[in-house]
A and B are shown apart, each in its own frame.
Chain A
Amino acid sequence: KNEVEQSPQNLTAQEGEFITINCSYSVGISALHWLQQHPGGGIVSLFMLSSGKKKHGRLIATINIQEKHSSLHITASHPRDSAVYICAVGGEYGNKLVFGAGTILRVKS
């Protein structure tokens, strides 16, 4: 079993839909990261959180430390949200992150 599991692996949505991507982890952590990677390579850090909830524009990230689970929500999805979303956790390994396999999101117009 991987230490960080993401679901779903692939997700196709219509423009405007509410999207949820889930991340479960089995290790102790000090922080969980949500990353976005568009085709062509560059990775952008969306959120880093260790408790509660964070919001930035149409993106919301939540974490439940007791349940070892985090969700990334996208409200009013748009085709430009199409990307790979990666969950990564850090803590037990110093400054090494353990990455999930990623969720490929496609938003159709």
Chain B
Amino acid sequence: DTEVTQTPKHLVMGMTNKKSLKCEQHMGHRAMYWYKQKAKKPPELMFVYSYEKLSINESVPSRFSPECPNSSLLNLHLHALQPEDSALYLCASSQVGTSNEKLFFGSGTQLSVL
């Protein structure tokens, strides 16, 4: 199984809503990532978890809250988002989290904030 599964595929939420994005992999990877991608732009790194511990937070606003409950699961909790947070949110994983490893990406969650 070489898949990274993201749910939901699409999400529409209001600015007062609380929602969560979910990411799952069963490749035994110990590094998991959240990226944000705006249309026609490359992905921007948000968070990195390494061995279930947050190792990188790219100064992401606190309305985005990541969680890694176990080595296979990564969540992104969303609260009080702004319309400018509308984007494609991509999850990725790699074996241990060095930059010379292949990254495996999920198909993303397309988020619209109204």
Contacts and interface: CB of A to CB of B under 8 A. Distances in A.
Interface string B50-92: 1000011000000000000000000000000000000010101
B31 A41 contact: no
Nearest to B41: A101
A42 B107 contact: yes
Nearest to B89: A41
B99 A90 contact: yes
A43 B99 contact: no
Contacts of A45: 102-105
A64 interface: no
A43 B50 contact: no
Nearest to A101: B42
Interface of A: 29-31, 33, 35, 40-45, 48, 50, 86, 88-91, 93-97, 99-102
